[in-house]
Every structure is written in structure tokens, then in C-alpha cells.
Structure 1
Amino acid sequence: MRVIIVCSRNSGKIVPFIQEQGDALSQLGVEVAYFSIEGKGLCGYLKNKKRLLSKINEFMPDLIHAHYGLSGLLANLQRKIPVITTYHGSDINNTKIFPLSRLNMILSVHNIFVSEKNRLKSNQTRNQSLIPCGVDISLFQPTNKLEARQQLSLNADKKYILFAGAFTNSVKNPDLAKSALLFFQDVELLELKGYSRPEVALLLNAVDLLLLTSFSEGSPQIIKEAMACNCPIVSVSVGDVEDVVSGINGCYISSYQPTDIVAKIKQALAFGGRIQGRNRIIEMGLDSDSISTKILNVYNKVLS
């Protein structure tokens, strides 16, 4: 089976969760090729049509798997190769993009949603699946906290909180996180930016907790990665976070009120240990091997 994965490269590289999903599918015997979109917005995406058609003629795929609604629209400009589209959240939650995603849902032979909230919002009842992105549990696994701090040159005695994104990303709501940290002394908020994947795994073992305050998410990968590393979590109820962390000691769901965020951070710091999140990830089948098997089943169903 030959599959072209169509996705954006506007950040300078293919985002890790798409690349890792492709790698996992390759391990199952799928021949995977990538088509990277250059440009932003609907017009920027559609300008890639000629290059995509050339890639299709060169690779001769059985399927195209597009990630995000606009990528799907580009892929569906041709009607010869069936298109499967995965929606990751911003393409559902953004009111300007959502109508375009709805159009793409009609054109795609199958639609994959990474969270139940987004699936319900899409109102799709046929030819659809709920399949979050999986976690590479061989990379994201518990390690010794002090050793992780040593490798990252972090203070062994200081309290560290990892913010779930870049401070420049307004959707991640960094102002709320920064305002909450004003109530704490000798606690440093680390920005999740510029780290390699192995370094992110180290960070999740080195910090005292992960903090997510986003206005919008689909199925945030960093939450699942933190769970796989048994890292305590404080998060607002966004995307599928509550479904993933519910009932896990050391994980706390907060409102968007700063006082509530502060209270939940205090609880997480007082918890002081590591959570039992890794078992939950495995039980829910959110490891990359289980997820890639589900996606391969969708591929086979479409081709049959």
C-alpha cells in the first residue's frame, strides 16, 4: 500500500506527531511519502496544486492522507486518488476555517477526528472515526528525575513547571500561566520551544508538573506525552484532556480563573510524586503502535 501524507511545513519542518505517525505506519509495511505544503491560508495552500499533482504522478499512491482541513481541500482538488483527512482541532475550532473543513468533510472518503468534542461539533455520522494521535512510549517513558535535570542543566533543588507551548503562541494562553506564576517564589516556568523530541521527554521527567492553559485544543499531544512519562498535570478542560487524565491522582483540571489555576498548581506541587499516567495511555490504546494499527484498518476499509 502506497500513501502520500499531505501536511504543512510552515514551521520549517513537519510537526512531530504527523512524522511519528507516518513512521509507525511505515513499520506496518505502508510505503509512505510526504508532500509538504508551502504557504498560508486557503490561497497559499491551493497554490500547491501543481506540485501535488506532480507528486501523485511520480509516487502513484493508493491513498492520500491529509492532516488538517485545508490540506484536505488541496488534496481533494484531484478526484482520482481517495483522500482521508484527519482534523486536529484548530481546523474545527477556528470559526473562519471550520466552514472550509466542513466542505472538505464532504469531499473526503473518510474523516478522522482526534477528539470526541470535535467529532460531535462536525456533525459527521458516516465515514468517520475517532482516532487521536498516538504517543511513542519507547521515547516518552519515566526516567530518573535528578538525572534528567542533570542532562538538561537544571537546578536539582528548584521547582520547575513546563508550559505546554511557546510563549508567543496566543492560542496557548501564556498570559494566564505567567500571571499564576506570580504567586509562587522560586518556581520557574519553562517554555516548550526549541527542544528536540528526546529533550522533551527529558523535560517531562525533569519538571514538577506540566501546565496547559490553552483557549483551544483538539487532542494535545503534550498531555499524552506527559502521561506516558508519569508527569503531574494541571490543565484547563479543553479538547480531550479531561477524558485522558480523569481519575489520575496528581492530575488537576482547572477553570480559566487565575485563582483556580494557582490553587491547582499548589495541589500538584504538594502532590510531589509521579503519577500513574503511563498505564492509562496503554489502557486507552493511545500508544503509537495501537493508533497506527487503527489507521491502517481505515486505509484497508477505504480501499476495499
Structure 2
Amino acid sequence: MTVNVLVLTTYDESPFLNQQIVALESRGLSVDTLTVSGSVSAGESRGILDYLRFFPEVRREVRQGDYDLVHAHYGLTAPMALAQRAVPVVLTLWGTDLEGPGGPVSQFCAPRCAEVIVMTESMREELASDCTVLPFGIDLERFRPESTATAKARVGWELDEHHVLFPYPPERTVKNYPRAKRIVDAVDDRIDCSVRLQVVHGVDHEQVPTYMNAADALLLTSKHEGSPTAVKEALGCNLPIVATDVGDVSERLEGVDPSTVATSDDELVRGLEAVLERGERSNGRRAVRAVSQRQVVDRLLSVYGRAIDGRLTIERDPAAV
């Protein structure tokens, strides 16, 4: 018997969400996606009218469809998911929806959902409801180590320079691009080899592994995060990481060498300098196996099973065991 899922999201172009949906469909589930209307650009948010219009859209879709559950991604979609009473709701909180202005909405809606998923242990502690810690997984078949020289040639980066990857739009204030530039400029002044900050965003997601393998380090200077996917993707490629202590970064980088988790600018500078001077790839792939797409989806299926009271049997992927 097919499990029919309606996914609610504020951003239907999210690569990691879309990969999860594809993985669910590969297990035999039927997944439809409904997105909050209205355009949104970096640094801007939708207006309240966009969310108000979403209420009747969700209720109409559930009424007309044959769904077993609604999976609401991001806290601001939870009120719309709960406005219908026909099927249970699974809520996934991404991080900013718990820590930011929308936090009260997430806190109010979470205990009213059948199941709640969060990205990190710290989010679990902050949320006043039962929940499952389950970050988005990555496709380890796509994100894997390749020749750095070959990757640099493919993206057109000079071989005799250090390339530090910043995989976000500079306009996204939460990612703190000014700090990343400040750190790279400081390291460039301290070592002989030229250091370039490579801002890469908006490229096809299939090209991201090539940039990960071409880079000499990933620099994450975010003010706050849930479970940053770029960190897990970098680990899959054995790309060294220098990052602020946000979200689950410390947990992901435990035992990963070379890599650095820091708080101050001075620590970030010294950490990035050490990584670049060492010039080696990391052992990160071993550390990221626990959040491979297969294992994460297998656990998500268990969450779905609990949400629908075990009325449907969902087959697990034996390769994920």
C-alpha cells in the first residue's frame, strides 16, 4: 500500500529537501509538494498575506487529495498544516524557525503535531516538546573525494593559489560574508601563497561536488545554523572545514582532521592558516556516514510510521543498515 505524503515548504528549490523527496519516492512513497506563494530573495521574508493565503490552499489540497500525512517543513508552515484535521502532521524545524522571530510559532505548534523533527541536540533542548533529532542527509555517492587538481581545472581556478569556499550568497546576512572576507584577507596577509575567497552559489547542485573538491577549505562564518548541509557535503568530499561553533558543527567535526571549530576572528584566522599551510585533505568522509541519505531516510520512515499509528508498513532499505 502506497504512503501518500503532502510536503509543505517555504522554499521548493532547496536541494537537500528535494533530494530527500527523491529518496522517499525511491522507497515507494508518493510525495506532493505545496509551496507558500510569493517571491522571496536573499535577506528578505514573505509577508503575512502570503502565509494567510496558504491556509485555504493547504486545506483544499488535503481535502481533494488522498494523503496519509502532512509533512510541514519550517515552523511557519505548521499553522497551515494543523488547520486541517484529516491527517496527522509531521513538523521539521530547520533552526532559524526556532531561534528567530518565528520561534513562538514553532513552540506553539510543535506539541500539536504527531511528530516533530529537529536538526540538532541543542534544538531538542530548546524545544519544549518531544522530538527526534534527524538532520538532512547527503548523497555520499555524489559527494565523494576526487582529484583536487582535476577539479580546479574544471572550475577554472589557479593551481598555485589557495581557494577557500564560501557556498552562500553574500546578501544572506545570517551567513556573515563580511566576516568570511575579513578572515581570508587576514590569512592572505600571513602566508606566502595567494589566498582567494571563492563565493559559489546559484550553480546546479550537481556541480557542487566539483567545487568542494577544487577548494582547499570550506569557511563557515554563520551567526547561527541548524545542521548546515554544506558542512556535511564538504565532509563527504574530505574537504577541510573552518567554522564557527553553530548548530551541530562541533558534533559533525569531532575527530575530523584537519579542521577547526572556533569562536573568535583570531581563532578562525589561525585555524584557516593551519589548514592551508598543511595542504592535506581531511578524514571527514568517515565522520559523515551517520547522516548519509540512506540512513536518514530510513529513520524518517520510522517517524512516519509512528505518525500514522503503525497502520501502514513501510519497507526499509537494507543497504542503510
- TM-score (normalised: structure 2): 0.89
User: Which SS does the other structure have where 2:77 is aligned?
Assistant: helix
The Cα of 1:221 is off from its aligned counterpart by: 0.4
User: Which SS does the other structure have where 2:33 is aligned?
Assistant: strand
User: Which SS does the other structure have where 2:291 is aligned?
Assistant: coil
How far apart are the structure 1 equivalents of 2:225 and 2:163?
A: 23
Partner of 1:92: 98
The Cα of 1:41 is off from its aligned counterpart by: 4.2
Listed as ranges, the matches of 1:246-285 within 5 Å are 246-255=254-263, 257-282=264-289, 285=290
Conserved in 1, the CA contact under 8 Å of 2:89 and 2:307? no
The Cα of 1:112 is off from its aligned counterpart by: 0.4
The one of 68, 76, 87 equivalent to 2:82 is 76
The Cα of 1:180 is off from its aligned counterpart by: 1.4
User: Which SS does the other structure have where 2:32 is aligned?
Assistant: strand
Pair 1:53 & 2:59 matched: yes
Pair 1:173 & 2:176 matched: yes
Instruction: Give the letter for the 1:226 counterpart.
Output: A
User: Which SS does the other structure have where 2:136 is aligned?
Assistant: coil
How far apart are the structure 2 equivalents of 1:271 and 1:117?
A: 32
- TM-score (normalised: structure 1): 0.94
Deviations 1:51-106, CA, capped at 9 Å, x for gaps: 22232233311001011101112111112111100001010110x21001111102
User: Which SS does the other structure have where 1:33 is aligned?
Assistant: strand
How far apart are the structure 2 equivalents of 1:47 and 1:191?
A: 36
How far apart are the structure 2 equivalents of 1:213 and 1:164?
A: 11
Moved more, 106-115 or 41-50: 41-50
Pair 1:239 & 2:247 matched: yes
Partner of 1:227: 235
The one of 155, 159, 162 equivalent to 1:159 is 162
Partner of 1:36: 35
| Structure 2: gaps (5+ residues) | 39-45, 310-321
What fraction of aligned residue pairs are identical, expressed as a percent? 29
How far apart are the structure 2 equivalents of 1:102 and 1:158?
A: 47
Cα root mean square deviation, aligned: 1.3
How far apart are the structure 2 equivalents of 1:196 and 1:63?
A: 31
Total equivalences in the alignment = 295
Partner of 1:214: 222
The Cα of 1:42 is off from its aligned counterpart by: 4.2
